Amino acid sequence: MSAPKKLFIKTYGCQMNVYDSERMAEALGGEGYVETKSPDDADMILLNTCHIREKAAEKVYSELGRFKGLKAEKPDLKIGVAGCVAQAEGQEIMRRQPLVDLVVGPQSYHRLPEMEAKAREGEKVLDTDFPEEDKFEKLKNRPKAKRGPTAFLTVQEGCDKFCAFCVVPYTRGAEVSRPADRILREAQDLVERGVREITLLGQNVNAYHGAGPNGDMTLAQLIWELDKVDGLERIRFTTSHPNDMQDDLIEAHGTCAKLMPYLHLPVQAGSDKILKRMNRAHTAESYLRLIERIRAARPDILISGDFIVGFPEETEADFQATLDLVEEVKYGTAYSFKYSTRPGTPAAERPQLDPKEADDRLQRLQALLTKQQREVQDSMVGRDVTVLFEKAGRFPGQMVGKSDYLHAVHVADCDRAIGDLARVRILSSGANSLAGALID
């Protein structure tokens, strides 16, 4: 038998890319590849790229340039670009970087084995189609290997919202939901391999409307089906749009014990003028009322968000409205970005703000969000939470896991194993994590 070929995958960007990279590794696993942690001994290198913000494509080109020496030493080395830069740039990647053998868009990963075979024969292969078939169904070369206690599971892909700043509707395509039976089968399989917590992924996950036994299902209905899976202890989902936050999903946060009290609900901005220009189709007020309803269903829920500052036409007063909204919501975590123009999106054509002004606003917003994040984390001290242990800590006897609220928690003198859940009393709050002790 020949030695296995080695595959090095570098993943950029969002959790969906992490999930996709796992699926690509599994697909190529069927072709005799095993993963390696270093590009140096790889027979194939795949960059799974992100296009959401500026310079992503440039980063990919500079990374590719670094493989020049490797390829010279090892002419059989194949180099591929996957993900959203592959989708957006297509053929241009091969034109600019002749080292690249293979370009594959996010909807074509199931075709990787054939593409790899062609590349081995010296062909340059490109596939950025949006095929009809379910790529995940085709990606079935799944070895039954044991897994860690947490996993991502893509249930929905693409987006029909067309926010004026965002490339996702172009790179990931229109909204598509996977049928519920396939998701449930995959969840069952993950649980059999040791997974206790599943995060359902979708660019617009709460718009989920996959086929079920009695017609289309909502995300809440899917969550209730997953609730019945024995051995699955925790369910999370991300990312949601405020306008798709339906009543049954809000209610599930109060009634489904496996659904964790954590919700990532991006608002992007606090000024109605800017929200309108962003094509967000909600107002600051409607978002605040929605948060109120979610908190009425689940008072301790931790709210997370995304923000963009320096969007075209954002005035100081508009920015102040974002700060005011943040003050009102009180976020447990948040991601904030300076607006970056994405070619092909509507906002790219508009007059851009002074970058210095945008930098200044980003710093001010981040200072407020960091303060809130710290306050929310500190408020956990003295409380009892459930922790799912994910790995051993740095010190002997220490274990690290995540609380229901997704805070990292360190527990000393811990006799529990990876994958165990335990009640923990929080004793202190550090820079980025909590420390606690087991409650017997």
Which residues bind to ligand 5AD, rule: CB under 6 A? 52-53, 165-166, 266, 268, 306, 308, 337, 339-340, 342
User: Which residues contact residue 334 at a Cβ distance below 8 angstroms, ignoring those fewer than 6 apart?
Assistant: 304, 305, 306, 307, 326, 369, 372, 373
Least distance (Å) between residue 164 CB and ligand 5AD: 9
- 308 or 358: CB nearest ligand SF4: 308
Nearest residue to ligand 5AD, scored by beta-carbon proximity:
306
- Choose among ligand 5AD, ligand SF4, none what residue 203 binds, the Cβ cut-off being 5 to 8 Å by kind: ligand SF4
3-state per-residue secondary structure call for the chain: CCCCEEEEEEECCCHHHHHHHHHHHHHHHCCCEEECCCHHHCCEEEEEECCCCCCHHHHHHHHHHCCHHHHHHCCCCEEEEEHHHHHHHCHHHHHHCCCCCEEECCCCHHHHHHHHHHHHCCCCEEECCCCCCCHHHHCCCCCCCCCCCEEEEECEECCCCCCCCCCHHHHCCCCEECCHHHHHHHHHHHHHCCCCEEEEECCCHHHCCCEECCEECCHHHHHHHHHCCCCCCEEEEECCCHHHCCHHHHHHHHHCCCECCEEECCCECCCHHHHHHCCCCCCHHHHHHHHHHHHHHCCCCEEEEEEEECCCCCCHHHHHHHHHHHHHHCCCEEEEEECCCCCCCHHHHCCCCCHHHHHHHHHHHHHHHHHHHHHHHHCCCCCEEEEEEEEECCCCCCEEEEECCCCEEEECCCCCCCCCEEEEEEEEECCCCEEEEECC
Task: Compare residues 168 and 424 and give the one whose CB is closer to ligand SF4.
Answer: 168
| Least gap, CB of 20 to ligand SF4 (angstroms) | 16
Question: Whose Cβ is closer to ligand 5AD: residue 53's or residue 182's?
Answer: 53
Residue number, 168 or 365, with CB nearest to ligand SF4: 168
Quote the tokens at residue 133: 């078939």
- The answer to whether 69 touches 99, Cβ cutoff 8 Å, is no
| Partner interacting with residue 383 (select from ligand 5AD, ligand SF4, none; CB below 5-8 Å by kind) | none
Report the site for ligand SF4 in 141-160 (rule: CB under 6 A). 159
What is d(CA 135, CA 157) in angstroms, rounded to the nearest whole number? 11
The Cα diameter of the chain in Å comes to 68
340: partner contacted, choices ligand 5AD, ligand SF4, none (Cβ within 5-8 A by kind): ligand 5AD
- Looking at 28, 45, 166, 195, which residue binds ligand SF4 (CB under 6 A)? 166
Q: Which stretch binds ligand SF4 (CB under 6 A): 29-37, 165-173, 410-418, 432-440?
A: 165-173
Could you say whether residue 80 binds ligand SF4 (CB under 6 A)?
Answer: no
Contact track, ligand SF4, 247-286, x by CB under 6 A: ----------------------------------------
Binding string, residues 181-220; x marks residues near ligand SF4 by CB under 6 A: ----------------------xx----------------
| Residue 58 burial (10 A CB sphere; 0-12, 13-18, 19+) | exposed
Say how far apart CA 91 and CA 128 lie, in whole Å: 9
Closest approach of ligand 5AD to the CB of residue 356, in Å:
17
Q: How far is the CB of 304 from ligand SF4 (least distance, A)?
A: 14
Q: Are 298 and 338 in contact (CB under 8 A)?
A: no
CB of 344 to ligand SF4, least distance (A): 13
Site size toward ligand SF4 (CB under 6 A) is: 10
Q: Which residue among 29, 113, 169, 242 contacts ligand SF4 (CB under 6 A)?
A: 169
Minimum gap (Å) between residue 306 Cβ and ligand 5AD: 3
Q: How far is the CB of 241 from ligand SF4 (least distance, A)?
A: 5
- Closer residue to ligand 5AD in complex, CB, 246/352: 352
51 binds, among ligand SF4, ligand 5AD, none (CB under 5 to 8 A by kind): none
Q: Which of 99, 163, 303, 362 binds ligand SF4 (CB under 6 A)?
A: 163
In whole angstroms, how close is the CB of 373 to ligand 5AD at the nearest point? 16
Which of residues 45 and 56 has its CB atom nearest to ligand 5AD in the complex? 56
Please, which residue, 168 or 191, has the CB nearer to ligand SF4?
168
Measured from the CB of residue 17, what is the shortest distance to ligand 5AD in angstroms? Answer: 12
Contact residues for ligand SF4, defined by CB under 6 A: 159, 161-163, 166, 168-169, 203-204, 241
